[in-house]
Chain A
Amino acid sequence: MSVLAVDVERELGTFKLTARFEAAGGVTGMFGPSGSGKTTIANMIAGLLTPDRGSIALDDRVLFDAADRINVPPHRRGIGYVFQEGRLFPHLSVRQNLDYGRRMSGRAANPKEFERIVTLLEIGHLVDRRPRLLSGGERQRVAIGRALLMHPHLLLLDEPLASLGSSHKREILPYLTRLRDDAHVPMIYVSHNAAELRRIATSVVRLDAGQVVAAGGLDLLNDAEADALG
């Protein structure tokens, strides 16, 4: 059953993006070279960018429909977003960052759940620090925890490892696979790195120059490498 249905068009200057795909549960890898429109699509799913035409639906809930003039604002979409650069709030402690989504939605504190996520990501020793003092890998783990603690219906991860060195990449990947197997939140994982996606994704949507060129299983990653070699 499809969880997310995307059918959007958007022109940005001379760049034209036309994307139509569906994503089921598990981890959908959005794969393509840089400039192929991956982040643009992620921003449209999150509500940070408005498509010119088309529709977006999540769990049978319409988030955007140009024809029906429906455009749910980002704060009501319930979609967690882990950005490439983390985007932790510098004026808040790690704990306050993690708590932000809960506070904004007015939910009561749930120390058990907080503890579970903090343990899963092994960030317990960081909660009283300021984001500025964290390493890149620690920052991304906190960003993932922050997005998870808002109870997202869907988690968007936009190149969450791209800003990290190779040793930090190796540090984060186990957490992400653990997340996939334990958290039961469908994820869209944006990356240009086939090796990374092979570790984490369960299905793949391939993009090139603003177009969805293929959608299917992990074998699409091999084709891409063959294409690149060819």
Chain B
Amino acid sequence: MFHLSPDEWTAVLLSLRISIVATVFALPFGIAVAWVLARTQFYGKALLDGIAHLPLVLPPVVTGYLLLISFGRKGLIGAFLEEHFGLVFSFRWTGAALACGVMGFPLMVRPIRLALEAIDRRLEDAGATLGASRPLVFLTITLPLALPGVIAGLMLCFARALGEFGATITFVSNIPGETQTISAAIYTLLQVPGGDAKAAGLVLVAIVLALTAVIASEFFARRAGMRFQGE
């Protein structure tokens, strides 16, 4: 019963590549936005908070549409990136990664922000009196203490990216070998009469991948948290 055709394998590997790239590239932005939200006060902070959460509450199709008009070849940002960096998103796997990263972003920011808010700031003061500049305090105290939150954010973003469908298909369509992820491949199979049996293999892969991500993140977050408890 469990047999994947070469095309289905392609979709699985593509999904993994897109999700990993999306998560890795979202991380620095996620940490930066989480830090700003956790640590700073400024006029319009609620707006930033709202924008960061937008992909969570907007219909994915709308997010995909917004990406299309801004990051498409004729979009303002898309045209700029193509001209200056040769970076094209529309109908490419990179565009799928962008859509997945944007969709996973709010899920990444939230746990990191909570972890940053929970840190005892007095430890950072102690670091400063011991000669650590602000960037060094961040790297050697703040970030390690927030690590369980960072891991949770990574996992949630990755899982969201793996399951992304609406924004991706709206933005970069459903091209086998380029933008056809597991979800899109399952959707395509289901469009054909009798395809539900064929889709079972991919469905199983999706379940296994999601479970692995959850268990792995739980394991790493626990290990990171344990370092504070003792040996």
Contact = CB atoms under 8 A, between A and B. Distances in A.
A114 interface: no
A48 B230 contact: no
A133 B144 contact: no
A48 B229 contact: no
B215 interface: no
Contact of A91 (B126, B133, B227): B227
Contacts of B227: 91, 130
Given A100-B130, A104-B132, A150-B131, A74 B228 contact: no
Contacts of A189: none
B125 A74 contact: yes
B141 A74 contact: no
Contact of B129 (A80, A89, A132, A133): A80
- The CB with the most chain A CB atoms within 10 A, among B127, B131, B145, is that of B131
Interface string A201-220: 00000000000000000000
A74 B128 contact: yes
B131 A104 contact: yes
Interface in A1-22: none
Contact of A130 (B122, B125, B229): B229
B151 to A, nearest CB: 14
A46 B129 CA distance: 7
B123 interface: yes
Given A91-B145, A91-B228, A130-B229, A81 B131 contact: no
Interface residues of A, number: 29
A75 B134 CA distance: 8
B136 A130 contact: no
A104 B145 CA distance: 18
A104 B140 CA distance: 9
Given A130-B228, A130-B230, A89 B128 contact: no
A149 to B, nearest CB: 9
B141 A132 contact: no
B141 to A, nearest CB: 6
B131 A87 contact: no
B123 A132 contact: no
Interface string A65-79: 000000001111111
A75 B128 contact: yes
B228 A101 contact: no
A74 B145 CA distance: 21
A46 B133 CA distance: 14
Contact of A48 (B125, B130, B147): B125
Given A87-B123, A90-B145, A91-B145, A150 B228 contact: no
A89 B145 CA distance: 9
Interface string A183-211: 00000000000000000000000000000
Interface in B118-175: 120, 122-123, 125-134, 136-137, 140-141, 144-145, 147
A105 to B, nearest CB: 5
Interface string A113-144: 00000000000000001101100000000000
Contacts of B127: 89, 100, 104
A146 interface: yes
A130 B175 CA distance: 53
A64 interface: no
A31 interface: no
A122 B41 CA distance: 45
Given A80-B129, A87-B120, 9 more contacts: A46-B129, A48-B128, A81-B126, A87-B126, A91-B141, A91-B227, A91-B228, A129-B230, A130-B229
19 contacts: A48-B125, A73-B128, A73-B133, A74-B128, A75-B130, A75-B136, A77-B129, A79-B129, A87-B123, A90-B123, A90-B145, A91-B141, A100-B127, A101-B130, A104-B127, A105-B131, A130-B227, A130-B229, A133-B231
